[in-house]
Structure 1
Amino acid sequence: MHSLIKNFSKILLGTVLSVSFTGILNPSQALAESKIKSITPAPKNASVSPDTYNVYLDANDPLSVDIQVKIPTKPIKLDLFLLEDVSGSFVDDLKNIQNLVPSLVDSVKGTVSDAQFGVGSFIDKPISPFGSSSSFVYKTDLGLTSDVTKLQTTVNNLFAKGGSDFPESQLEALLQAAVRGENEIGFREDAFKVVVLSTDAQFHKAGDHPSVPANNGDAILDGNKPGTGEDYPAIEQVKQKLEDANIIPIFAVTKNVRSDYENLVNNFGFGSVVELSPDSSNLINAINLGLSDVFKDITLDVVGDDFGYVANTQPRIFPNVPAGESRTFNVTLLADGINDKDDSLSLVAPGFGRVDINVDVKYSKNPIQSVPEPTTIFGLLVVCAFGLTGQSSLTSNLKKSTSLKNSKSLH
């Protein structure tokens, strides 16, 4: 029996030493844990923090990270882009909007002194049955500016025309505003970005123009007549582009289509719907109401998560957050070990900012977390289990192990 115990302890110790050296010489096969490798703090006065997480995800080992979003007392900078329906049915509304420009500017600047304004317009695709030859999908009429005279002149030059069927190209116009936002429109990186889309009609969406290719989501309106060579965009596609550009939409719409845009905002997960009077005479109040809504609701959306590493976000929304207060989202990251690859993704709080997460799923040569040496743990277990019976054999083997490790480290 004495001999059997000694032999068994030798076999067990040999196995332990083998596991130990595998972990030392080949860290990719060693025990590991998901871990935050580093954190880049957010810039001063940023509403969302931190700026970046660099993480390592071990298969089936969840990792929790926190995203904090602060509602500013009031936006430091506001870029407000007016996206106007100029189809024939909106003719009376345009006249009122033109008259309201000075009051609109004063009202907005009373809340945010550093505010810029821009103008875009849309009707529909210039092809039957959607529109007439004078219709257009989208046009940037004025890039963002603080020049009120330019704003007034641009709005005065808008006039209603064209259109055929009742729905218009609202979604495609919104997508164009997002993809052209940085350069053509000129949204400032550090400004709260809002597009106010005014309309009295429903919107066309993907599938309404099935005889042409799907909308590719870029800033080029395909076709000999711009926009006729591709379908309308999908709702999810527009949502993605708005999130990428960090733009919040406010839909200022008439009562007859309010439910359509409320459903759209529900699909987006962000934005606001406010009701216009039949002639848009309450536009200023509607915009102020919409701004108050988007300034206080916080959502967190996942962008670019190609491998599904974001397993859960809690909660999905913080509604009615008072100005000056912060809220923290808890995000669970998880790699399932199946076809995982390194990736970069973002968590976007629309209108407030984003956190980038760089995911590493390959174990580094310099491990994120030191790997426990199995010789230490299991060696003690062997001693405890078999007592002094195998002590001399165990001690001899441990000395050999130490000598071997020292020899390898010297080489």
Structure 2
Amino acid sequence: MTLCTLLLLSLAFLCSEVLSQGSGDRNPCLAASAQDSCAACIATGPQCGWCVSEKYEQENRLRCDTFENHARGKCDTNDIQYPQDELLKIDNRAVQDGDKPEDAVQIQPQKVRVNVRPNKPIRIPLIFRQAENYPVDLYYLMDLSNSMEDDKENLAELGNLIAEKMSAITKNFRLGFGSFVDKVVSPYVSTVPRKLKEPCRMVTGEACEAPYGFKNQLSLDLETAKFAKKVRETRVSGNLDGPEGGFDAIMQAVACEGEIGWRPISRRMLVFSTDDGFHYAGDGKLGGIVRPNDGVCHMEGGLYTESSNLDYPSVSQIATKIKEKAVSVIFAVTKDQFPIYEKLSQYIESSTTGELANDSSNIVKLIQDNYEKITSKVSLRTQNVGDNITVEFYSRCFGTEEKKTSECSNMKIGQTVTFDVEITATACPADRKEWRRQISIKPAGYQEKLVLDLDLMCECECEKPENEVPNSELCSGGNGTYECGKCTCNPKRYGKYCECEADDVTSKESLKECIMPNATVPCSGRGSCECGKCKCSTRSSDSAKLFSGKYCECDDYSCNHYNELICGGPERGVCDCGQCKCNPGYSGSSCECELSQDKCKTEDGLVCNNHGTCKCGKCYCESQYTGFKCEQCPACPDKCPDYAPCVQCRSFQSGPYSADECDLKCPREVREQPKVEDGPGIQICQLKDEEECWVYFTYEYDQEGEVVLKRQKAKVCPEAVNVLAIVGGVVGGIVAVGLFLLLIWKLLTFIHDTREFAKFEAERQNAKWDTGENPIYKQATSTFKNPTYSGQ
């Protein structure tokens, strides 16, 4: 086997492990039906493989099992039949725009060959991109009964505008025109000869066209100017009842690809314009027409020739034909007819409904809006899936979260969206011809598609005729075909090696040999009867765990467990038909009781220190004593000093014990815990180390009598004296006191000065002399007055 094959098998094994873990302990590969053949095995689950080794079954191993169990059972990798999915892209042209219809590519890949393993999903990436200037064929199908006269005139005027708007969307645009009235049969139209020629004369007084079912007035043409001209030339007609023969017209317009001019690669659009309802399948009986519509084109000279011979199509026929021919329909109807056509569009793929003005004046906007509405969404559809195959779609569209969907909305021209197509074969068909089939996946409204050639892997390589050995000597001297490591017996033979004859007498007698007395089910319902002997089946996900006994009545894996082992493990006992058989020295339902008293004895040979009773290798102490061997009591000395060196050497690599002494005298570990806790049989101790720190620890004894030491993780150390802090505090205190005294002195000085200044100010205010003159100064001049003139 090549290195590449080994890598693929390893990868497949990992995938199978993930799948098996997701389904709990259940192993589907162990089903009885999976052991019949390699084909049945690989169809059971994606994690199942078949071992073809001749010796594998001789060792009582099952051929169908998981890859892991086969590896454990020592089945060589070369002997494991584990077929892998394979995907080959045959046609994988990249998405692109194109001026020519044949150059545009909107879906990638275009053809894929897939080898699918049953019940194992496989994903195929699919890319869709709306190409620019993608060809568009628009066929305008109009109701030309007399009530649509004004609509026809407006349509003729707006024909060039329709072409102009659509040409702005794509450069490759063609336009066609067709009309319909109703079946030319009573009671749909008047069969009076005069009214058959001019049905409108009695109503409007004007001449009009004779009634007809459907007429192709103008095939799809690049010269859009012809459209307006043809609409003007076409005359309206008339009928009697309200509903029209629109379904006949839709069926012929879609089915007659050559007459209408639909291109193989184009976006096909049909605008259906009317102001009334429609006849559908069954209505033709009113006119004596009982032949169902055959969905086939019947056109001669542009006229529907079977209108009076075939019934109207059903909604289902219309929907199927539209889907088959990938046509998108826009129902342009008046307001009163809008609800019924909107409901109809829900049953027709890639269709929409728009409200038409009474005179069709808004037809251009209606076509443009609904075209954008249709093309803004991509919807993937499947064809020819058949039974036993499921197809699911996943996409992120334009978001970040993947979801299960086949549609993406809000698309624009030139945008790309990716889908994952998940294919699952749920079962293998009985007919080998159905093992190979072809499925198509296409976006609604487009002819382009992804073609999937599926090959179902419903048989293993070892089952192919060239690898079989008919009438092999390994099958009891030629009584069977040797294939895939086992014998497929010839008629009237059975057994592992086809050693049993299957005639009526021997088969009934051999079956009795497999039924236990007072029972009715062969092999206790836990195996199969082969040649009068029971072949026991597995009891769990491990194929090595079989039921046992002559009648498979024993289950050697359902005994009680001790220490998570069946019957305490091989050292204590074994499970025999659901009951533990204990080895010498052990007893109990799960061999949990050890009869020896060695674990209860002290170094002095005392059993439980003479303070208890030894049961199943464990001491049950008197009320005031505790410990594994009843060595502890309130007045008894503890063993803290004995175990303190062990704590030091194991936890801190210090203390009186060297490394060798520590390994010889101490347990292998000292467990750490946030805080030591007291309890029954637990002794709390403390020790002081070289750093004057206290270490708290406990000791106790487990079920085997071994000491268990636990230490508090954090030491408790005395706090160191901070000399700098003390000196700094003293100096700071002195400075603070000095500053305080200086502040008081300054305050007293300020108060004294304030008082002296106030006293000075008071004395100055009380002075008798002017502060502006010198009191001892005398002027140099004297003034005298003459008494004679004192009165003047």
Query: TM-score scaled to structure 1, two decimals?
Result: 0.75
Which whole-Å CA distance do the structure 1 matches of 2:388 and 2:337 have between them?
35
* 1:231 aligns to 2:311 (yes or no): yes
Q: Which amino acid aligns with 1:205?
A: Y
Task: Report if aligned partners of 1:126, 1:228 keep a CA contact under 8 Å in 2.
Answer: yes
- C-alpha deviation, 1:32, in angstroms: 3.7
* Matches of 2:184 and 2:380, distance apart in 1: 37
- Does residue 1:291 correspond to 2:367, yes or no? no
* 1:65 aligned partner, one-letter code: I
Q: Check the 8 A contact 1:143/1:185 in 2, yes or no.
A: yes
Which digits, 9 at most, give the CA deviation of each residue in 1:112-135, with x for residues without a partner?
222111112222222223345543
Residue by residue over 1:371-406, the C-alpha shift from the partner in whole angstroms, topping out at 9 and shown as x without a partner, is xxx99xxxxx99xxxxxxxxxxxxxxxxxxxxxxxx
State which of 153, 163, 171 in structure 1 corresponds to 2:239: 163
Match of residue 275 from structure 1: 355
DSSP-derived class of the 2:236 partner: coil
Structure-1 separation of matches of 2:408 and 2:114: 26
Q: 2:443 aligns with which of 349, 359, 379?
A: 349
Greater share of helix:
1
Displacement of 1:161 in angstroms is 0.8
Whole-Å separation in 2 of the counterparts to 1:10 and 1:60: 26
Which residue in the other structure is 2:221 paired with?
145
**Which protein shows a greater Rg?**
2
Letter in 2 for 1:190: I
Alpha-carbon distance, 1:97 to partner:
0.7
Which of 251, 275, 278 does residue 175 from structure 1 map onto? 251
What is the CA deviation profile of residues 229-259 of structure 1, one whole-angstrom value per residue up to 9, with x for unaligned ones?
2222232322232232222111111111112
2:115 and 2:456 in contact (8 A); partners too: yes
Q: Which residue of 2 aligns with 1:408?
A: none
Picking from 97, 118, 141, the partner of 1:59 is: 118
Cα 1:269–1:330 change in 2 (3 A) is: farther
Higher mean C-alpha deviation, range 344-353 or range 254-263: 344-353
Secondary structure (helix, strand or coil) at the match of 1:202 reads: coil
Distance 1:9 1:50 in 2: 44
Q: CA deviation at 1:49?
A: 1.9
Say if 2:95 and 2:128, in contact at 8 Å, map to a contact too. no
CA offset at residue 39 of structure 1?
4.0
Q: Which structure is higher in RCO with an 8 Å CA cutoff and minimum separation 6?
A: 1
Structure 1 15/203 Cα, relative in aligned 2: closer, same or farther at 3 Å?
A: same
1:130 correspondence with 2:188: yes
Match of 1:388 in 2: none
Map 1:1-400; keep pairs closer than 5 Å: 11-12=58-59, 31-42=82-93, 45=96, 46-72=105-131, 74-132=132-190, 134-181=210-257, 183-210=258-285, 212-220=290-298, 226-307=306-387, 309-313=389-393, 314-337=404-427, 338-339=429-430, 341=434, 342-352=436-446, 353-361=448-456
Query: How large is the Cα RMSD of the aligned pairs?
Result: 3.6
Cα distance between partner residues in 1 of 2:408 and 2:343: 19
Q: 1:265 and 1:42 mapped to 2: Cα distance? A: 34
Contact kept? 1:269, 1:299, Cα under 8 Å: no
Structure 1 residues 19-60: Cα deviation after superposition (integer angstroms, max 9, x where no partner)? 9x9x999x9xx5545543444214652112221222234433
Matched with 2:518 is none
Report SS of the residue matched to 1:190. coil
Aligned identity (percent) is 24
Number of aligned residues: 357
Cα distance between partner residues in 2 of 1:221 and 1:307: 37
Corresponding letter in the other structure for 2:158: L
When structure 1 is superposed on structure 2, of 55-64 and 349-358 the one drifting more is: 55-64
Compared CA separation, residues 281 and 64, structure 1 to 2 (3 A) = same
Match of 2:283, SS? Answer: coil
User: 1 CA distance for matches of 2:309 and 2:454?
Assistant: 38
Alpha-carbon distance in structure 1 between the residues aligned to 2:341 and 2:151:
19
1:38-86 deviation per Cα after TM superposition (whole angstroms, max 9, x unaligned)? 44214652112221222234433333333322233x4432221111111
- Preserved CA contact (<8 Å) 1:34 1:62: no
- 1:225 positional shift: 5.9
Cα distance, 1:322 vs structure 2: 3.0
CA offsets 1:280-302 (integer angstroms, 9 cap, x no match) = 01111111111111221111122
Deviates more, 1:117-126 or 1:236-245: 236-245
Identify if the C-alpha distance between structure 1 residues 9 and 334 changes in structure 2 by more than 3 Å, giving closer, same or farther.
closer
Contact 2:298/2:305 (<8 A) preserved? no
Matched letter for residue 62 of structure 1? P
AA matched with 1:176? Q
Go from structure 1 to structure 2 and tell me whether the alpha carbon gap of 1:197 and 1:31 turns closer, same or farther (over 3 Å shift): same
1:76 and 1:33, CA in 2 relative to 1: closer, same or farther beyond 3 A?
same
Q: Name the CA distance, whole Å, in 1 between partners of 2:56 and 2:384.
A: 52
Which residue of the partner structure matches residue 389 of structure 1? none
- Greater Cα offset, 50-59 or 119-128: 50-59
Describe the shift of the 1:169–1:327 C-alpha distance in structure 2 as closer, same or farther (beyond 3 A): farther
Measured after TM superposition, the shift of residue 14 of structure 1 is 9.4
